[in-house]
Structure 1
Amino acid sequence: MTEDSDLQGTARARRWINDAIETIEADFNRSADTHLLRVPLPACLGIDLYLKDESTHPTGSLKHRLARSLFLYGLCSGRIGPDTTIVEASSGSTAVSEAYFAQLLGLPFVAVMPRATSAEKVVQITRYGGRCHFVETPCAVYAEAERLSAALGGHYMDQFTFAERATDWRGNNNIAESIFAQMALETHPVPAWVVVGAGTGGTSATIGRFIRYRRLTTRLCLADPEASVFHRHLADRSVRTTDGRPSIIEGIGRGRCEPSFLPELIDRAEAVPDRASLAAARVLSERLGRSCGGSTGTNLWAAARIIAGMAAAGKTGSVVTLLCDSGERYRSTHLDPRWLAERGLVLEPYIAAVEAFFERGVSPDAILVA
């Protein structure tokens, strides 16, 4: 191959990358920002609760932002070209969003996922032209994605490593900038707390850095499934893995402390039982008139603890959390009575506890103890 043909090949690849970035930017330009919903709290006067509704993204979840950032990061770093097969390790939602962007750019996409991933997510991935490659346990996704990427000569996106660095945390309409801009005209425009879960840790890193960059008084709370390692790592930095049964809440909580998770940015952690997450998601869905996934329930339970504490101390202010995705993605799992019964998941006491929070302003945990 001559030097001229090498230069021509490089020029073609650069043109393709330029076109790919323009395609992603055009897609972003077509997509309106997600809404910030105010949730009535009549029992907690002076305290306002808001939900950033990330389910309205084109691919239906918070992970749409991450997937877009990861693709731009890969393109601008020279790791994605016109013939690159994209491979990702995911519990489902990131894979759905990445399959969408891969299809947008005409690239093959393979998602390495636990076999227990909800069927609805698998359907969405294949609808966008992606292929699902299953492993038996969540902890096996990393090595298998890396192996498969090497075998295919592709690019392993590795959201768990690159999530915290792919997003421009200073602005550029990231989720943090969007939240605080939308809060500008509210009674308490600077939230006392923002409550988020962590899967990769990318969202908590973006919000935590933005808070510091803008020198805000807002504090950041991690809402974490009980089975996850993140809240354990915050309590004891030597703890980096868990060996127990994984959480059934998809998208947040991990068995290992991911490279993108930055514990120094977290001011408080709340460990939430899976039953509490599912119950809170159901109650919130009824009150909002829109379906919420389990991770949104985790966020709500943690936010309810904070709000009840504020109310008991006579404090006022605002609390913001995320509606991460729709419950429609879990029709075959969390919303299926048979699926719950097979796992012995009784939600009624937890549902009553969440209702008591809304009606009386008390912590849901206080109702369970009583």
Structure 2
Amino acid sequence: MLPTNVTQLIGRTPVMSIEIPSLNSKLVLKIEKNNPGGSMKDRMARSMVVAALQDGRLAPGGTIVESSSGNTGIGLALAAVEFGLNFIAVVDHHAAPDKIRMMRAIGAEIRYVEGDFKEDEVAVVARQRLAAQLGAQLPGALFMNQSDNPANPEGYAGYVDELMEQLPDGIDAFVGCVGTGGSMTGISRRLKQLLPAIRTIAVEPAGSIVFGQPGRPYYQSGTGTPAGDEVGKVLDYSCIDEGVQVTDQQAFETARYIARRKALLVGGSTGGAIYKALEFIASGKLQGTVVTTVADGGEKYLGSVFDDDWMAKRGLFDPSVASQLDAWLFGQARAA
């Protein structure tokens, strides 16, 4: 039977392997940007809406309110159309403009937080505050609060089930980005239930406070927890073997490298996860089949990560990253 709603296209995303013969390993990318909203967040967004409708926190015709840097908002906009709901996305200047345009195109109402924020400062606290106020004040509205919503990690069960079918020879490690903690918790917890020996590595931006490091501004969007915010209650540290940080330069240069070498456009946070996964493989800390997620596509960052002027003005170029990636993948540096 053919799908009759775009949300029925969520999931069943493909995988792609980056072979590393010299290390007897491979990095498998699960291409979540192939979801209809362009990111893995489509899964959890629909999960949260379905749970809220089932337990009565949302009624038909009601209003979803959520703080989002874009991808969760797009997923919620899709679900709002499916279930006949309204959606208000609370965003800040850090959200990629094309994500804002996508939400508007699907019918979302956009509310910007007010305040004097630096360009590399993520205004999560102000966004959360405004979203909570709107959820409490507007009739029939519900603040989804993805950071503390248990339906967030539950939305990734299908992701793991797909992986198990796609990689029947086994999975040795998973490396993923951590922001609210929903995807990292949902995927890692289920993987460890099925594969107790699997290693799970969580990657946050340098400047994020998820693993207790000092907070400072960063440009990576939709990942990490900035200083002044609280780590999401959905994050389960017990299912994560190690937490590591990646710099903006490492993340963005890796995304650009994957575009040039593999013709695959990935977002900046995905670039960071790929960089750390390859670093762990090259160091011998991880071996065999290592999985990471293409959380969203680089198409949403053509005006930032993939724009030379934008990168140069912010001092984000670092040619040594490409040389390092060449050394890890090919054993020697290659010409650019």
1:221 to 197, 201, 206: 201
Give the alignment of 1:222-301 within 5 angstroms: 222-232=202-212, 243-245=215-217, 247-255=218-226, 256-301=230-275
1:325 aligns with 2:305: no
Provide the rounded CA distance (Å) in 2 between the counterparts of 1:190 and 1:48.
12
Equivalence for 2:101:
123
Provide the rounded CA distance (Å) in 2 between the counterparts of 1:164 and 1:360.
43
Measure how far apart 1:31 and its partner are.
4.7
CA contact (8 A) 1:283 1:355 kept: no
Provide the rounded CA distance (Å) in 2 between the counterparts of 1:105 and 1:290.
33
Measure how far apart 1:328 and its partner are.
0.9
1:175 aligns with 2:153: no
Provide the rounded CA distance (Å) in 1 between the counterparts of 2:170 and 2:127.
39
1:212 aligns with 2:192: yes
1:152 aligns with 2:131: no
CA contact (8 A) 2:28 2:292 kept: yes
Amino acid corresponding to residue 250 of structure 2 in structure 1: A
Provide the rounded CA distance (Å) in 2 between the counterparts of 1:60 and 1:163.
23
Provide the rounded CA distance (Å) in 2 between the counterparts of 1:117 and 1:295.
13
Give the alignment of 1:19-38 within 5 angstroms: 27-31=6-10, 33-38=12-17
Q: TM-score, normalised by structure 1?
A: 0.81
Provide the rounded CA distance (Å) in 1 between the counterparts of 2:319 and 2:99.
27
Measure how far apart 1:215 and its partner are.
4.6
CA contact (8 A) 2:94 2:221 kept: no
Equivalence for 1:142:
128
Judged with a 3 Å threshold, the aligned counterparts in structure 2 of structure 1 residues 106 and 164 are, in CA distance, closer, same or farther, namely closer
Give the alignment of 1:31-180 within 5 angstroms: 31=10, 33-44=12-23, 46-135=24-113, 136=115, 137-153=123-139, 154-163=141-150, 167=154, 171=157, 174-180=158-164
Judged with a 3 Å threshold, the aligned counterparts in structure 2 of structure 1 residues 31 and 100 are, in CA distance, closer, same or farther, namely closer
Equivalence for 2:118:
none
Provide the rounded CA distance (Å) in 1 between the counterparts of 2:311 and 2:5.
42
Q: Which runs of 5+ in 1 are unaligned?
A: 1-23, 234-241, 363-370
Provide the rounded CA distance (Å) in 2 between the counterparts of 1:60 and 1:156.
23
CA contact (8 A) 2:205 2:246 kept: yes
Judged with a 3 Å threshold, the aligned counterparts in structure 2 of structure 1 residues 212 and 31 are, in CA distance, closer, same or farther, namely closer
2:174 to 165, 188, 194: 194
Provide the rounded CA distance (Å) in 2 between the counterparts of 1:156 and 1:25.
28
Equivalence for 1:18:
none
Amino acid corresponding to residue 104 of structure 1 in structure 2: E
2:272 counterpart SS class: helix
Q: TM-score, normalised by structure 2?
A: 0.88
2:326 to 336, 355, 358: 355
Amino acid corresponding to residue 216 of structure 2 in structure 1: G
Judged with a 3 Å threshold, the aligned counterparts in structure 2 of structure 1 residues 166 and 273 are, in CA distance, closer, same or farther, namely closer
1:275-333 superposed Cα distances (whole Å, 9 cap, x missing partner): 000011111122321211101111111101211122xx8x8511111111111101122
Judged with a 3 Å threshold, the aligned counterparts in structure 2 of structure 1 residues 357 and 145 are, in CA distance, closer, same or farther, namely same
Provide the rounded CA distance (Å) in 2 between the counterparts of 1:347 and 1:75.
47
CA contact (8 A) 2:148 2:232 kept: yes
More helix by share: 1
RMSD, aligned CA: 2.2
Q: Which runs of 5+ in 2 are unaligned?
A: 116-122
Provide the rounded CA distance (Å) in 1 between the counterparts of 2:146 and 2:313.
32
Judged with a 3 Å threshold, the aligned counterparts in structure 2 of structure 1 residues 271 and 316 are, in CA distance, closer, same or farther, namely closer
Provide the rounded CA distance (Å) in 2 between the counterparts of 1:309 and 1:217.
19
1:19-57 superposed Cα distances (whole Å, 9 cap, x missing partner): xxxxx996554456000111122432x212100100000
1:309 aligns with 2:283: yes
Provide the rounded CA distance (Å) in 1 between the counterparts of 2:152 and 2:72.
16
